[in-house]
Amino acid sequence: MNGSSAQRLQTHPEHKVRIAAIQRELDAIWDDARRAGAADQAVTRACMSNLIVYCDDDEQTRAVGSAILQIVELHPSRVVLLTAHGETGEPGIEAFVSGHYNVLPGGWQVCAEQIRVVADAQAGDRLPSVARSQIIGDLPTTLWWASRQPPPFTGKQFFQLAEMSDQIIYDSFGWTNPVKGMQAMSRWVAAQGSEYVIYNLAWRRLRHWRNLIGQVLDPAVQPGALRAVTALRIEHGPHAVAMAALLVGWLAAQLGWQTRGGKVVPGRQTVWQFQVDDRQVPVMLVRVAEARSAPVKLYWSWRDGDKERCAVLADLGDQRLGIVEAESDVAVRIVSAPEPAQGMLVAAQMAHRSRDRVFERALETGNSMTGALL
């Protein structure tokens, strides 16, 4: 599916309702549709799961609107869209209902019943209880934490929403305090054991980088490049230090590196020392102000006999990652790296409800990495 969901899906106009009347008002939407349709047309309600979406404010709620359309076309759901610190017509909480559907030759196919709940600054603590009352009990529940705050930072709002969820999806992109955010999240994940399927959208965005690194540094292609590493440097754009650190965490976990120290130069770079066999290897994340908000260039150096060698991988533009030939001692390799829309990332993860052990090990390593910085 491409980004045309907003054009293909139809939306029943949203209207305000009393919280106690939410289900009755949703039923009325589709009852009206049945009465308005021809005798040979049906209204089919498809629902695979509950999706709770938590947003910081009205602006963020508007921003996720198109993503929700992408999600429900692939993964029909009961959507409970929560807005904390929103603007309400009267003090407290307000609720609105709407629906998203496809018009098919035989009638309507309902892809989502959407319940939008807005709380003012004083009523945010009530959002979890409202969400609990609106989810369909015999369906799996996904919490998409769309907030710009690391989930544990909001305290009981997140913890209560997590308790009613089977799967938790968050995004470390744009965290204002990425080091403390990474540490808080990795510690919380470690404490949960196997209770939830937990996923960071940044991990899926790094998929093409992980694939390219694996291809270029494969021992069958570059013998000794992984084992004899001497330095790693990753350049990234604004708001992407958490994503770059997750990439380092993956490498360190896969290769058995041990964190030995680290420091942060605010706004410029983050540096770690890792123990690799009998030597220490420096790893540096460098912020490039004019770059896009993602890892943009990676320098991998290693010792090959009496020679120092280097592979430089970079974002080449036009949705491609590859080797920078002029700076590298390895053969040119290029991979396609299309950037999926946010809604597509969430929908893809909702379809996979098993734990990702490789991601979890990268998070565990990230915990030791952030501990060295604080």
CATH number of 205-338+357-371: 3.30.360
Nearest of 117, 56, 119, 116 to residue 91 by alpha carbon? 119
The structure's pTM equals 0.92
What pLDDT sits at residue 37?
A: 63
Residue-wise pLDDT for 105-142, tens only, equals 767 778 899 999 999 999 999 999 999 999 999 999 99
Question: So what CATH class is 5-170?
Answer: alpha beta
Distances (CA, A) of 286 to 182, 226, 291, 365: 18, 21, 11, 20
Mean pLDDT of 246-271: 95
Tokens of 277: 């066999």
Nearest of 91, 92, 66 to residue 81 by alpha carbon? 66
Decide if pLDDT at 200 tops 70.
yes
Contact between residue 307 and residue 225 where contact means Cβ atoms under 8 Å apart: no
What pLDDT sits at residue 6?
A: 45
Domain residue ranges in the chain: 5-170, 205-338+357-371
Tokens of 103: 């018009």
Q: Using only C-alpha atoms, what is the Rg of the chain?
A: 23
